[in-house]
């Protein structure tokens, strides 16, 4: 069962319009979302991948094209310095008033879950203290956002956050 499957009932209502699922991992949030992942993903996909590339550089995508960006269990695979640049790049392709829909693990809760259940650790996770709080601190440095929805405890170790892009000229 994928992390998106677990989050779908909660986060799907925010996925309206033209969207992209960044790092979709084989289970797209909706049937009509643009799926994006690595050229050579580390997982075998069940779903169809539409775009391939590195999420750190989506310069081939026009400015302000998406109504929403959904990302599940991807952003923890980057350092905080990388995250700041990634979020700025994703913000660029998100329409004004568009939604940034995030499903990520709290690293410390994830480690406890792995210890308790024997689940294998994910060595792609880069920051030991990755959490809703640390992520929110990074997001504040990337532009103006309005929190639409937050669920600090989701599933065994995840958190959900939905942010609305606020355009500087509209403030």
Contacts of 45 (CB under 8 A, 6+ apart): 25, 26, 37
Task: Give the chain's domains with CATH numbers.
Answer: 3-18+63-170 (3.40.50.150)
Contacts of 162 (CB under 8 A, 6+ apart): 11, 14, 99, 100, 101, 102, 147, 148, 149, 150
As a whole number, mean pLDDT of residues 14-30 equals: 94
User: Which of 61, 68, 73, 72 minimizes the C-alpha distance to 33?
Assistant: 68
pLDDT tens digits along 99-109: 999 999 999 99
- The pLDDT confidence band at residue 69, using thresholds 50, 70 and 90, is very high
For 82, how many CA atoms within 13 A lie in the half-sphere containing its CB? 13
Tokens of 59: 């310069």
Q: What is d(CA 25, CA 83) in angstroms, rounded to the nearest whole number?
A: 19
pLDDT tens digits along 117-133: 999 999 999 999 999 99
CA-based torsion, 29, 34, 36, 42: positive or negative: positive
Report the greatest alpha carbon distance in the chain: 50
Look at residue 171 in the predicted model and tell me its pLDDT. 47
User: Which of 46, 40, 67, 54 minimizes the C-alpha distance to 164?
Assistant: 67
Tokens of 67: 């109504």
Residues present in the chain in total: 171
Integer Rg of the chain from CA = 15
Look at residue 33 in the predicted model and tell me its pLDDT. 97
Percent of the chain predicted with pLDDT > 70: 93
Please identify which residue in the block is written with the tokens 């030991």. Answer: 128
């Amino acid at each position: 069962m994928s992390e998106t499957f677990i989050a779908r009932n909660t986060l799907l209502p925010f996925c309206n319009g033209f969207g992209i699922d960044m790092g979709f991992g084989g289970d797209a949030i909706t049937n009509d979302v643009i799926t994006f992942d690595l050229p050579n993903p580390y997982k075998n996909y069940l779903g169809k991948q539409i775009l391939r590339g590195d999420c750190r550089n989506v310069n081939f995508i026009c400015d302000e094209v998406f109504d929403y960006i959904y990302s599940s269990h991807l952003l923890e695979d980057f350092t905080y310095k990388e995250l700041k640049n990634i979020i700025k790049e994703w913000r660029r392709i998100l329409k004004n008033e568009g939604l940034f829909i995030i499903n990520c693990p709290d690293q410390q809760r994830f480690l406890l879950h792995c210890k308790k259940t024997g689940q294998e650790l994910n060595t792609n996770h880069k920051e030991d203290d990755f959490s809703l709080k640390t992520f929110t601190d990074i997001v504040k440095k990337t532009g103006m956002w309005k929190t639409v929805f937050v669920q600090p405890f989701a599933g065994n170790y995840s958190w959900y956050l939905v942010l609305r892009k606020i355009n500087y000229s509209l403030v």
